Amino acid sequence: MRLLQAEAATRPTFWGIGPVEKALFYFLAALSTLVFAYGVYARVQRYRRGTDDPLPRLDDLSARIRSSARIVLTNQKQFDRDRVAGIWHTFVFWGFLTLFIATVILAFDEWVYRTGTAALLGTRQSFFQGDFYLSYSFVVDAMGLLFVVGLGVAIYRRYVDRTERLWGVHTSLEDGLLVWSLFLLGVGGYLTEGLRIVGTEFPAHETVSFVGYFVALVASTAGLSADLAEAVYPALWWSHALLALWFVAWIPYGKPFHVLSSFANVLTRDEQAGVRLPGVPADADPDDIGPSDIEDFSWKQLLDHDACTKCGRCSSVCPAKAAGRPLDPRDVILDLKEYRQDLDAGRTDEVPIVADGGTSVIDARTMESCLSCMACMDACPVEIEHVTQFTEMNRRLTESGEMDPNVQDSMMNVFQHGNTFGDPERERPDWVEDLDFEVPDARDEPVEFLWYVGDYPSYDERNRAVARSLARLFEAAGVDYGILYEDEQTAGNDVRRVGEEGLYEVLVEDNAAAIDDCDYDTIVTTDPHAFNTFKNEYPEFDDPDWTADDVAHYTQVVDDLLASGRLQVPASLAETVTYHDPCHLGRYNDVYEEPREVIRQTGGDLQEMPRNRNESFCCGGGGGGLWMDFDEDPKPSEERLREAVEDTDGEAVSRFVVACPMCVTMFEDGRKTGGFEDDLDIVDITELLVEAIEAGGATRTAEV
C-alpha cells in the first residue's frame, strides 16, 4: 500500500513516520533546541566575565548590521587570497542558510499554519502545496546540491590535497566532524528524498526535486522496489533526523559555533583595530596593565578566541612565522581559547598568560616575534583583532620587566635622547649639512608643510640620503616647508607596539607640544610609522591641535605636487622597477595608489610583485623587529627580495622601490645577506624622483 499519492503537488512532512515516532521526534527536537540554547547562554555568560572593552562595539548599530551582513553574506573575505575557498565556502554558507530557512518554513506550516487554520477555520490547511511547493522543492534541491558540492571540495582540500594552512597543532576531531557531519546531512537529505520518491512511485511533480529524483531513478534502476523503499525509509529518516538534531545541539559546544560567533565578531569589530591601539587609563595600576590572567581579556577578546575557525589564513601570511620565528597567530588565539576552556573545566592550573621561561600560556619570545604588520588581521575572515591583543600582552611583559634586552636598550635610548639610536639630540638635524640650500626651520616661520623627518632619516647614514632627496623635491616644487630640528623626538608608533605605553605617552606630549608651537597647514612625514601614529593615535590624546586630516605621508604630498604641476618630473627613467607597499602605509592606512602614481611619473616600468597592496609582505622591521635579533631563515626582507627577483613578470626588476626608512634599512640588509647585490638596488621613491629629475634636467622652480 502506498501511504500517499498526493492529488495536488505536495508531499507529506512525515511520510512513513507514525504518530508515536512523530511525538518522539518533537521531544528530541525540543531537547536539542534546549541544549543549543543553554550552550549559547553559557557562552554569553562566559563573555560577561571578561573585562569591559575600552572601545564602542555596538555604536551606530544599523550601519554595523548592514556592513556586517554584506561581509558575511558575500563571503568576500573568504575570496581574498584563495578563490577556491571563497567559492566552496559560499556554496556551503548559502546552502546551509537555504536549508535552514526551508526547515523553518516547513515547521511554520506544520506547527503554526495548519494548527491555526484548524482552530480558526475548522479545517487544517497547508500552504506547502501547488506552485509554492514546486518552487520550494526546486530551490531546496538546487541549493542543497551546492551545499554538498561545497563540502565535497572542502573535504578534498583537507584530506586529499591536504592544504597546509588547514592543519596545525590545534587540528582536532571536531574539524573533521564538522565537515563530515554537514556532508552526511546533505547527502542523507537526498537519499531520504530519493527513497520517498521511489516509495511514492515517482509522482510526476517530483521532477522539480531534481537531485532527489535522480537518486530515486538510480536506486530504482539498481533494483529498489517501492515496497522496499517504504520499509527502509523510517530507518534512513531517523538517522538523518538524529544527525540533524545532534548537530543543532552541538553548535554552541564546538567548531560549528563559528556560524554564530563569526557574525557577532564581525558585527562588533573595530574598523581601526591595530591601526590605533587602545590606551591605558591614567590611574591604571601597573599590575593591571596587560593581561595577567584570562579574566583580564575583554569580552570582545574572548569572543575573538571563540570566533576562530582554525582556517590558518593568518598563519599563512605571517612573515614572522615564515621566517621561522616562534609565532603562529592562529596558535596564539587558540592557545588562549584552549587554556580558558581547560581552566573552566578544571583540567589545568592557573598560569601567567605571558611570561618568559615556558611556564605561561604564551611565551614572551612568541609575542616579541610579532612585527605588527597586520597581515593576519587583513587575512582573517572573521575579523579577529590579533594585533591589539598581542600589544596588550607586550604591555604585560614590559610591566613585568621581561622585555627583549635589545628593545630595552632602544627604549632607554628614546628615554634619554629622544631617538632610538642613542645619539645626541643636537645631531638630529646634521643631515641638512650636505645640502646646498637651507632647510627652513618651522619653529621660526609659518609653513605649508611641517615635515616630521623621523629618527632613521635623521640619524642613519643611508636614510639621510632619503631625507636630502625629499628636501630637494620640496625645494624643486617651491613649497613652504620646514622641520623641527632638535625639537623632534621619536614619534613612538613602534614604542607603543612593543608595549612601552608610558614612554609613548611622554613622546606624544613632547612631539605634540613641539608641533603645536608651529604655524602649519599639514604635517608630512617621511616614515609611514610616524604617519600612522600622528594620524590615527595622537589625535586621541588631549595634547595635539591637529586631526587625522592634517597628516599626510610624503608620497601623498608629492603626488599632489605632481598632479597640480607644482613639481614636474620628466619621465626619463627607462628602468623596470617594483614597489613594496610598507605595512603602515598600505594595510594600515590604505595608501596604495599615490606611491605608484609617483613612480609612473618617473617613466619607470612598474612591475607588481604577486603579493602587492594589502597582501604585501612585511620587511621585518615593524613592531620593534628592527631592534631585535632572531634566527631567521630566510629573513622577511630576503624572502621579499626573492619575490621581486623571481616572481615578477616582464623585464628583470633592477630597482626595488620603497617608501619607508625602516624598509630601506631592512632591505639594504637583506640585499647583502640574501645575495641580491647583483640583482637590484634599493631606492626610496624620493631618490627615484630626484634621479628622474636629474636625468631629465628640468624642474619647475629649481635645480635639485
Site string for ligand SF4, 314-343 (x = CB under 6 A): x--xxxx------x-xx--x----------
Interface with ligand SF4 by CB under 6 A: which range of 63-71, 282-290, 354-362, 367-375? 367-375
Q: What angle do CA 453, 455, 460 make, to 5 degrees?
A: 105
Residue 642, CB half-sphere, CA atoms under 13 Å: how many? 11
* Binding of ligand SF4 by 491 (CB under 6 A): no
Among 182, 229, 382, 692, binds ligand SF4 (CB under 6 A): 382
CA distance 617 to 322: 10
* Binding of ligand SF4 by 379 (CB under 6 A): yes
Q: Which of residues 386-405 bind ligand SF4 (CB under 6 A)?
A: 386-387
Min. distance of Cβ 440 from ligand SF4 in angstroms?
38
Cβ-proximal residues to 420 (8 Å cutoff; 6+ apart), any chain: 410, 413, 414, 455, 490, 627
Among 92, 153, 219, 370, binds ligand SF4 (CB under 6 A): 370
Q: Which of residues 666-695 bind ligand SF4 (CB under 6 A)?
A: none
Min. distance of Cβ 554 from ligand SF4 in angstroms?
24
Q: Which is nearer to ligand SF4, 11 or 396 (CB)?
A: 396
Helix 258-267 vs helix 299-307: angle between axes, to the nearest 10 degrees? Answer: 140
Q: Which is nearer to ligand SF4, 36 or 390 (CB)?
A: 390
Q: Which is nearer to ligand SF4, 311 or 692 (CB)?
A: 311
Q: Which is nearer to ligand SF4, 102 or 259 (CB)?
A: 259
DSSP symbols for 378-442: HH-TT---HHHHHHHHHHHHHHTT---HHHHHHHHHHHHHSSTT---GGGGGGGGGGSSSPPPBT
Interface with ligand SF4 by CB under 6 A: which range of 64-72, 137-145, 313-321, 662-670? 313-321
Site string for ligand SF4, 280-309 (x = CB under 6 A): ----------------------------xx
Min. distance of Cβ 320 from ligand SF4 in angstroms?
4
Q: Which is nearer to ligand SF4, 170 or 443 (CB)?
A: 170
Q: Which is nearer to ligand SF4, 252 or 319 (CB)?
A: 319
**DSSP helix, strand, coil percent of the chain (3-state; round to 5):** 60, 5, 35
Interface with ligand SF4 by CB under 6 A: which range of 100-108, 366-374, 481-489, 535-543? 366-374
* Binding of ligand SF4 by 266 (CB under 6 A): no
Min. distance of Cβ 337 from ligand SF4 in angstroms?
10
CB atoms within 10 A of CB 439: 21
Interface with ligand SF4 by CB under 6 A: which range of 104-112, 130-138, 233-241, 372-380? 372-380
Q: Are 620 and 658 in contact (CB under 8 A)?
A: no
Q: Which is nearer to ligand SF4, 27 or 167 (CB)?
A: 167
* Binding of ligand SF4 by 85 (CB under 6 A): no
Q: Are 659 and 694 in contact (CB under 8 A)?
A: no
Q: How many residues make contact with ligand SF4 (CB under 6 A)? A: 28
CB atoms within 10 A of CB 370: 27
CA dihedral 132, 136, 139, 144 (to 10 degrees): 180
- Which of 514, 440, 525 lies closest to 483, judged by CA? 440
CA distance 207 to 138: 9
Strand partners, 452: 525
Min. distance of Cβ 116 from ligand SF4 in angstroms?
43
CA distance 592 to 586: 6
Interface with ligand SF4 by CB under 6 A: which range of 376-384, 535-543, 593-601, 696-704? 376-384
* Binding of ligand SF4 by 313 (CB under 6 A): yes
Q: Are 554 and 523 in contact (CB under 8 A)?
A: no
Report strand pairing: 576-579 vs 605-606: parallel
Min. distance of Cβ 104 from ligand SF4 in angstroms?
28
Min. distance of Cβ 258 from ligand SF4 in angstroms?
8
Interface with ligand SF4 by CB under 6 A: which range of 69-77, 150-158, 370-378, 606-614? 370-378
Residue 493, CB half-sphere, CA atoms under 13 Å: how many? 29
Cβ-proximal residues to 290 (8 Å cutoff; 6+ apart), any chain: 296, 354, 392, 393, 394, 395, 396, 397, 398, 399, 499
Q: Which is nearer to ligand SF4, 314 or 569 (CB)?
A: 314
Report strand pairing: 520-525 vs 481-483: unpaired
Taking the mean position of all CA atoms in its chain, how far away is CA 545? Answer: 32
Q: Which three cell numbers stand for residue 99?
A: 536549508
Q: How many residues would you count in the chain?
A: 704
Q: Which of residues 167-206 bind ligand SF4 (CB under 6 A)?
A: none
* Binding of ligand SF4 by 375 (CB under 6 A): yes
Min. distance of Cβ 40 from ligand SF4 in angstroms?
20
* Binding of ligand SF4 by 373 (CB under 6 A): yes
* Binding of ligand SF4 by 364 (CB under 6 A): no
* Binding of ligand SF4 by 310 (CB under 6 A): yes
- Which of 362, 239, 360, 251 lies closest to 306, judged by CA? 251
Q: Which run of H or E residues covers position 606?
A: strand 605-606
Interface with ligand SF4 by CB under 6 A: which range of 311-319, 338-346, 535-543, 550-558? 311-319
- Which of 651, 632, 644, 691 lies closest to 671, judged by CA? 644
Among 208, 374, 470, 514, binds ligand SF4 (CB under 6 A): 374
Residues that bind ligand SF4 (CB under 6 A): 308-314, 317-320, 327, 329-330, 333, 370-376, 379-380, 382, 384, 386-387
